[in-house]
Amino acid sequence: MHVTGLNRVIGLGCLPAILAIACNLSAPPTPEGTAPATSPTQVESVVVPTLGEIARAAVQLQALVSEAGSHAVVWTGSGSVISSDGLILTNAHVVDDRAGEYEQLGVAVLERTDQAPELRYLAEIAAIDYGIDLAVVRIVSDLDGRPTTVELPFVVLGDSDRVEIGDSIRILGYPGIGGDTVTFTEGAISGFTSERGIDGRAWLKTDATIAGGNSGGMGLNEQGQLVAIPTTLGSGAEEGGLADCRQLVDTNRDGVVDDEDTCVPLGGFINALRPAALAAPLIEAARRGESYVQGDLPAPQPGQEVDLTSTYLTSVVFSDGVDESDQPVGQSHALPSGAIDVCAFWDYTGMVDGMAWSSIWFIDGELSEGGSSFDDVWSGGSQGNWWVCIHNESGLPDGLYEFVLEVEGEHMADNSIFVGGDRNLVELTVENQLGADICYVLLSPSEAQNWGPDRLGEKESLVPGGRHSFPMASGDYDLWLLDCDGEALDEAYGLELHEDLSYIAAPD
């Protein structure tokens, strides 16, 4: 489990020169769970450093190889200096050296915001967690390999657990497009997600436009404190324009999501930030000089083929909470207006750690980038159950929520749930008068884009003359009945399930 809740403002050393003002925010370490040494009122009274001042703590990290007596850059990313002696917080993928693609890790520091950063130092990985894609690196030498002592401007860590929807978020980093200088963008926090294996918030979502090279950089609150780390997911891009367009919904309503369906554009920029609280154990280990490596999953190989023939994600259900055993707090067919969480649960077999997986939400047919995660790295083992949640302290917007699961770009499972509306539990009873076994019953809200799961389950069928009742939230539904070869037997659209209803499937 990952430690959450930076319950204090952490100042790791005192700033020289231009950032000395931030020393007023420093507080001595306090035991986990205790009250902060500096009260919120005191923190808010401190003069906030300007963005130009804070920007000097934004560094560019460069993966380097030796070439003709100089350093050639393989890739770049962003990082934030969090202590004057050269500890830098970034993403794990920015410094991932497991595949041997680079020889040295360079640190380029900023003198002027209108100039490119200057490559001055070499660094090493001090602590890393591949599962949550965070790392702390330490400056160790100059470019010639001579040990060096540094005194750098640094940014103060804030409490990411206090960030709320609508709060301003300001991003500093080196996007790699539109020039080599540090770049500022801003927006608002648009949502939160949580997931099994991570205590508290797993992601902060934002409407800020953040290009791919900002990965590992600064996400600042209005006090100029580092509360989040922009993290590239599958929809991120190093260049402008659409980075990703996928078949996520059954637009032709043939029961299969495939290349015949219209793709859904996922956008070209990062919209996800890791809360700074998740970095707490890495930072503490790095400060103590202790080895810290977590989530060391197989490094993704470009173009690698993945066998999904024995991978199954099934039994997607919903609830408004998660209990201590990672089970739903009561299975829900609909959630009331004002619910603050909607959680999706599912079973899985045949997963492999290191696979790319996505949990994707639609609200009333529109992609919810604030609730979705694309191409995260799987770390849950081969089989079990998993969950993810969307959280909104002010209450989720009413609507039809559709949930889609992808593994390695393949559509694996989906289901939907109503949030809000005057809904009650009703039953649809299907009676088979078709003269053939019904092996698949697909029943989805008429507004849904996907048919959802087989309501009978893989081991059940409805023989001629048989009846089966399905509990549903009241609403309008579409019904599709198929035989054991997947051939259509009967279909009905716009069934008004506002009270218990019997449907007789019979020949025309």
H-helix segments, 234-279: none
* CA-to-CA separations, 214 to 105, 190, 360, 426, in angstroms, rounded: 17, 19, 23, 49
**Predicted pLDDT of residue 251:** 86
Asked whether the domain spanning 425-505 has the same topology as the one spanning 312-419, the reply is yes
pLDDT of residue 11: 36
Closest CA to 62 of 86, 90, 98, 99: 90
Which pLDDT score, from 0 to 100, does residue 19 have? 38
Q: Which of 61, 47, 53 lies closest to 92, judged by CA?
A: 61
The model carries a pTM of 0.80
Report the C-alpha gap between 385 and 331 in whole angstroms: 15
- CATH class of the domain defined by 425-505: mainly beta
3-state per-residue secondary structure call for 110-141: CCCCCCCCEEEEEEEEEEEECCCCEEEEEEEE
36-74 pLDDT, tens per residue? 333 333 344 456 788 999 999 999 999 999 887 788 999
Task: Show pLDDT as tens, one digit a residue, over the chain (508 residues).
Answer: 333 333 323 333 333 333 333 333 333 333 333 333 333 333 444 567 889 999 999 999 999 998 877 889 999 999 999 999 999 999 998 999 988 999 999 999 999 999 999 999 999 999 999 888 999 999 999 999 999 999 999 999 999 999 998 999 999 999 865 468 998 989 899 889 999 989 889 999 887 767 666 789 999 999 999 999 988 654 333 444 434 678 888 888 888 888 888 887 665 445 689 999 999 999 999 999 999 999 886 655 555 567 899 999 999 999 999 999 999 998 889 999 999 999 999 999 999 988 889 999 999 999 987 788 888 888 899 999 999 999 988 899 999 999 999 999 899 999 999 999 989 999 999 999 999 999 999 999 999 999 999 999 878 999 999 999 999 999 999 999 999 999 999 999 999 999 999 999 999 8
Please give the Cα distance from 362 to 169 (Å, whole number).
Answer: 24
CATH architecture of the domain with range 17-142: Beta Barrel (2.40)
* CATH code for residues 161-239+264-293: 2.40.10.10
Q: What ranges do the domains of the chain cover?
A: 17-142, 161-239+264-293, 312-419, 425-505
Per DSSP, 242 falls in state -
Answer whether 135's CB lies under 8 Å from 129's CB.
Answer: yes
245-281 residue pLDDT tens: 788 888 888 888 888 888 876 654 456 899 999 999 9
Residue 15 and residue 226: Cα distance in Å, rounded? 15
**Architecture field, domain 312-419:** Sandwich (2.60)
Which SS3 state, helix, strand or coil, does residue 239 take? coil
